[in-house]
Amino acid sequence: MSLFEITQTDKKTSARAGVLHTAHGDIATPCFMPVGTQATVKSLDPQDLEHLGAQIVLSNTYHLHLRPGEDIIAKAGGLHRFMQWNGPILTDSGGFQVFSLGAQKKKKASRATMEAITPQEAAVAPADAKTDDIANDQGALVAIDNDGVTFRSHIDGSKHRFTPESATDIQHKLGADIIMAFDECTPDDANDASAREALARTHAWAKRSFAAHHARTPLHGYPQYLFGIIQGAQHKNLREESARFISSLPFDGIAIGGESVGYNMDATKDILEWVMPLIPQDVPHYAMGVGFSPLDIFEVVERGIDMFDCVSPTRMARNGSLFVHPQTFAQTESKSAPRTLRLNITNARFATDFGPIDPHCACSVCATYSRAYVHHLFDANELLAYRLATLHNLSFLMTLMKNMRAAIAAGSFLSFKQEWTQSF
Amino acid sequence: MSLFEITQTDKKTSARAGVLHTAHGDIATPCFMPVGTQATVKSLDPQDLEHLGAQIVLSNTYHLHLRPGEDIIAKAGGLHRFMQWNGPILTDSGGFQVFSLGAQKKKKASRATMEAITPQEAAVAPADAKTDDIANDQGALVAIDNDGVTFRSHIDGSKHRFTPESATDIQHKLGADIIMAFDECTPDDANDASAREALARTHAWAKRSFAAHHARTPLHGYPQYLFGIIQGAQHKNLREESARFISSLPFDGIAIGGESVGYNMDATKDILEWVMPLIPQDVPHYAMGVGFSPLDIFEVVERGIDMFDCVSPTRMARNGSLFVHPQTFAQTESKSAPRTLRLNITNARFATDFGPIDPHCACSVCATYSRAYVHHLFDANELLAYRLATLHNLSFLMTLMKNMRAAIAAGSFLSFKQEWTQSF
């Protein structure tokens, strides 16, 4: 049985529905993947994830290598057993995290709107938006060479080195069902020369990741699938070159990476327009970092993306920023508000609002608690606030994805999209 | 139907088993009451509480008055509906919190061992041990007079006033099943004159609380029961006088309060020895603040106590201090360690320990997760750490209490106590 099976393709767009078959279960696509950076989706337990319909959890090589270390997780029997999540897992290779150690200091301000974190967490580790909790001043990118990358831990400043071989080896030990090639995530504003140099490394490293992956004896007794990553910053020619190169290797899936993917949707749409016609259609397509807004999801699914992840839904939840349906958004926010489909429950007007977070949401939080109570929990810095907000935001996305898959299957993707976007 | 029914009395000790009948359900006694200061047991939701077998939750008049305010909770339909916990609730009157605002500054150091709080919470509000999260420097006791107490909020420094009438009125609005008379909690080291003066106020306020309670029209359509509180610091004559006075009023239950109750078990045993023979046996007996160690619970139950609460099991959980059975404690801690029946999961030796927190514990956390994983969650400051630790500590106590009640019913309380204490 192959990893991926396409069950339906939309006639009017490139959207498709499918199934990813893994040893830890099937994943219906298109699919949003909740982020569990440090072997836990912040504030939730695996039962919560199961109840809200998460099909797969994403975790992170950089973070798990530093803490608790891949050897401890291997000894525990792998990441599934360590965190007691028996569903599918995908681990990012750590490339994004390592490179954002260098980039984030200058970029902090520009991503201020996404730096949502609880006040409690901020005291422990200030965090950048896309990199889950690694903005500690001790972390630093030390050196990049053609063989690999040397960096300092954001936790204790200790020196570490990743190569395509070591990043792959760590991911073997962690034992995720889907693992990622080690890549160099080029900043958006890289000039042509430096983006070209970085891309050459990313491609060489893709080959080495592939070779290392296929040279090993499987550690955990089930298949691990390896995805390649297309880079190339905002350069059309480099993105096309990368799409062709990554497609030339028989990866199990193809990802589109880069700083702007998911965080600048205009740039993201450009990139997808360049690369999607060039990559094989029969493998899963993964847009890394998409899901800041429910509306962004429509844009990438429409263009043929099957999988995506983003820390924003969970991180912003912990800051009180909660997804609502367009109808609810129109009632709670002014017309000039950005079309985020979020309300901020910490706003004073919710203190005496005894209705649910979103009357159009069927999640357990909306069925149970009032805006006034959730507002109180945030106001009082109560830990339950983060859990309820995270449950709501993830449930919201899981329901959206379920309905989107049904719409694709029914041939009505575009009219479903219009239901969500017509109020704007 | 009366509030309290004694179903079994132990022949060799003063221990008894019984049932408290409330409009929100029956409570089997003796019973440990988890503390949900701000309308939430920190990190848990009501379903968690139900699953772990909590029979009643304690909340706090001082905290809820300041945030979100009793009027908001009344508008929500009362505390049960506000927090969506449909079981019984008890609210403390706020006397302890108000008076500890004055006492805590000088006492902070002496209670250092109990100041267990997450690093994340510490950033938001440093906290004293017995007063759940009110050690902010803005909080202050402004003035005590015979009519009531004026104090400053620990949140924003705003001035507030409690009288027996207002504390009772707030508790009516909150709608707990059991409410407490407004008392003056005298420091342990109060001299005879000041303890006597405070006690005179506590007794006058007990009468006024009683009168205010019985003068009101019930707001929520179900009975609320009022308990009186015995004070008198460490003075035998005052404690006896207080026991006689509080017993002379037809309160629905009798509580024993004071700074040392639960925090100094030798002093607690003295106090119980003085007061227990003087109070009616047919009403519930509540020792306020007991439950720091499982072993403390045996001491008060043996002396005829039916109900008790303590923030330590939940607060210390959030600091990684986890209850274990005596056998496990003997295996993990040195013989000279204080007999706390706790292990500190943040200790480095647990990083590679793949066994459960306590192999003798049947809770869902011990059935599911390893010490290594819980250690990792604490090490990484993950929110799930606090939830799992809290679930474990409370489940541990709920099981202990269930077994203790069964032992009383079976006439084997003392041998059950010996099983727990013989290793020391």
pTM of the model: 0.94
Test the A interface: residue of B44, B60, B124, B365 with most A CBs within 10 Å:
B124
Grouping H, G, I as helix, E, B as strand and the rest as coil, residue B58 is strand
Domains of chain B, residue spans: 4-316, 321-416
Per DSSP bridges, beta strands A285-288 and A89-92 are unpaired
CATH 3.90.180.10 assigned to domain A4-316? The reply is: no
Residues of chain B with C-beta less than 8 angstroms from the C-beta of A123 = 119-120, 122-124
Q: Which residues contact B306 (CB under 8 A, 6 or more apart)?
A: B4, B16, B18, B20, B29, B30, B31, B284, B285, B286
Examine the pLDDT at A126 and tell me if it is beyond 50. no
In the set A133, A183, A309, A358, the catalytic residue is: A309
Given a cut of 60, is residue B113 above it in pLDDT? no
* DSSP structure class, residue A172: H
Q: Using beta carbons and an 8 Å cutoff, which residues of B are at the interface with A?
A: 38-40, 42-45, 63, 67-68, 72, 75-76, 82-84, 118-125, 351-352, 354, 368-370, 372-373, 375-377, 379-384, 386-388
Please name which of B381, B309, B297, B392 lies closest in space to residue B343, comparing C-alpha atoms: B392
ipTM score: 0.94
DSSP-derived 3-state class of residue A228:
strand
Can you tell me which residue has the tokens 């906290």? Answer: B127
Instruction: Measure CB to CB from residue A40 to each of B44, B119, B377 and give the nearest one.
Output: B377
Mean pLDDT in residue range B97-103 = 77
Percent of chain B scoring above 90 in pLDDT: 81
pLDDT digits (tens, 9 = 90+) for B153-206: 999 999 999 999 999 999 999 999 999 999 998 888 889 999 999 999 999 999
* Active-site residue, A309 included: yes
Higher pLDDT, B101 or B72: B72
Using the predicted structure, report yes or no on whether residue A118 has a pLDDT greater than 80: no
Q: Do A382 and B42 touch (CB under 8 A)?
A: yes
β partners of residue B60: B92
Nearest to A232 by CA among A246, A220, A242: A242
pLDDT class of A141 with cuts at 50, 70, 90: confident
Q: Which residues of B are catalytic?
A: 92, 309
Set of chain B residues whose Cβ sits within 8 Å of the Cβ of A370:
76, 82
Considering only CB atoms, A387 lies closest to which of B45, B63, B373, namely B45
3 state SS of A101: helix
Residues 6 or more apart from B305 whose CB is under 8 A from it?
B30, B256, B272, B285, B286, B287, B290
C-beta atoms of B72 and A38 within 8 A: no
Residue A156 CB burial class (10 angstroms; 0-12, 13-18, ≥19) = exposed
User: pLDDT band at B106, cuts 50/70/90?
Assistant: very low
**B136 — pLDDT class (breaks 50, 70, 90):** low
Q: Do A39 and B119 touch (CB under 8 A)?
A: no
Between A82, A370, A379, which is nearest B67 by CB? A379
**Residue of chain A whose Cα is closest to the Cα of B42:** A383
**Residue from A35, A37, A40, A318 whose CB has the most chain B CBs within 10 Å, to mutate:** A40
Q: Which residue has the tokens 């700074």?
A: B259
Q: For B232-242, what is each residue's pLDDT tens digit?
A: 999 999 999 99
- At residue A73, the pLDDT reads 98
Q: Is the dihedral of CA A388, A391, A397, A399 positive or negative?
A: negative
Whether A132 has a pLDDT exceeding 80, the answer reads no
pLDDT of residue A108: 42
pLDDT tens profile A349-405: 999 999 999 999 999 999 999 999 999 999 999 999 999 999 999 999 999 999 999
| Average pLDDT score over residue span B95-104 | 77
Distance CA B301, CA A122 (A): 43
Sequence-distant (6+) residues with CB within 8 A of B331 are: none
Report the candidate in B104, B85, B101, B98 with the shortest Cα–Cα distance to residue B44. B85
C-alpha B207/C-alpha B196 separation (Å) is 17
Please indicate whether, in this complex, the C-beta atoms of B380 and A42 are within 8 angstroms of each other. Answer: no
- Residue A129 pLDDT more than 80? no
Bigger pLDDT: A56 vs B422: A56
Which residues in chain A are closer than 8 Å to B386, comparing Cβ atoms? Answer: 383
Collect all residues with Cβ–Cβ distance below 8 Å to B418 and sequence separation of at least 6. Answer: none
